[in-house]
């Protein structure tokens, strides 16, 4: 069984009710079928580790907190976390689009468009999204 190792979650809680080998085999069979169907061999390069690198990189880019990413990935040494986040560059413009939601409908629409909830201001919800 695959155990959940995430910050703030009980580590005895299971993600799936299948063993790692069953999930692993099903993933690789589906990946191979997709690669054949779309006639694109690049799908064969995507592994479980690819998703781990993607998650680490996006979280580091979003939070700029390497210690948070270290805990999220369950690493004991920060050097291991740097391996997963080496692609992040902060040279880009670090600006956001900020919106205020006055109603629940507007708040929901902004969340669906990828905005992130920040907090409340004068009974309105403050959300932001990278430009």
Q: Residue 86: which of 72, 109, 69, 103 has the closest Cα? A: 69
Residue-wise pLDDT for 46-77, tens only, equals 888 888 888 888 888 887 788 888 888 888 98
**Based on the structure, what is the number of domains in the chain?**
2
28 domain residue, yes or no: yes
Q: How far apart are alpha carbons 110 and 13 in whole angstroms? A: 32
CB 69 within 8 A of CB 56: yes
pLDDT value for 105? 93
Q: Is residue 6 part of a domain?
A: no
Range of the domain at 110: 96-130
Determine which of 60-64, 92-96, 125-129 has the lowest per-residue pLDDT on average: 92-96
Q: Are residues 109 and 79 in the same domain?
A: no
In this structure, is residue 15 part of a structural domain? Answer: no
Whether the per-residue pLDDT at 125 is higher than 80: the answer is: yes
Q: Look at residue 2 and tell me if it is in a domain.
A: no
Q: Name the nearest CA neighbour of 1 among 28, 32, 30, 22.
A: 22
Together in a domain, 75 and 103 = no
| Same domain as 108, residue 77 | no
Q: Record the tokens describing residue 98, joined without a space.
A: 């900020």
Contact yes or no for 111/127 (Cβ under 8 A): yes
| Amino acid 4: pLDDT | 47
Residue 51 counted as domain residue: yes
68 assigned to some structural domain: yes
Place of tokens 């063993």: 19
Does 25 share its domain with 61? yes
30 lies in some domain: yes
- 114: left (phi > 0), else alpha (psi -120 to 50), else beta? left
pTM exceeds 0.85? no
Position 120 in a domain: yes
CA-wise closest residue to 109 among 127, 131, 124: 127
Q: What is the pLDDT of residue 35?
A: 92
Q: Among residues 91, 90, 99, which one has the least CA distance to residue 126?
A: 99
Question: Which band of pLDDT confidence, cut at 50, 70 and 90, is reported for residue 13?
Answer: low
Residues 78 and 102 in one domain: no
31 and 78, same domain (yes or no): yes
The pair phi, psi for residue 26, each rounded to 5°, is -65, -40
């Amino acid at each position: 069984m695959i155990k959940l190792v995430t910050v703030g979650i009980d580590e005895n809680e299971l993600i799936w009710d299948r063993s790692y080998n069953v999930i692993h085999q099903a993933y690789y069979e589906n990946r191979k079928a997709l690669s054949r169907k779309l006639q694109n061999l690049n799908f064969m390069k995507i592994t479980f580790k690819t998703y781990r690198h993607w998650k680490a990189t996006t979280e580091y880019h979003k939070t700029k907190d390497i210690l948070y990413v270290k805990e999220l990935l369950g690493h004991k040494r920060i050097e291991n976390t740097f391996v997963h986040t080496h692609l992040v560059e902060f040279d880009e413009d670090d600006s956001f689009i900020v919106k205020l939601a006055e109603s629940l409908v507007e708040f929901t629409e902004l969340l669906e468009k990828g905005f992130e909830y920040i907090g409340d201001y004068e009974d309105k919800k403050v959300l932001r999204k990278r430009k």
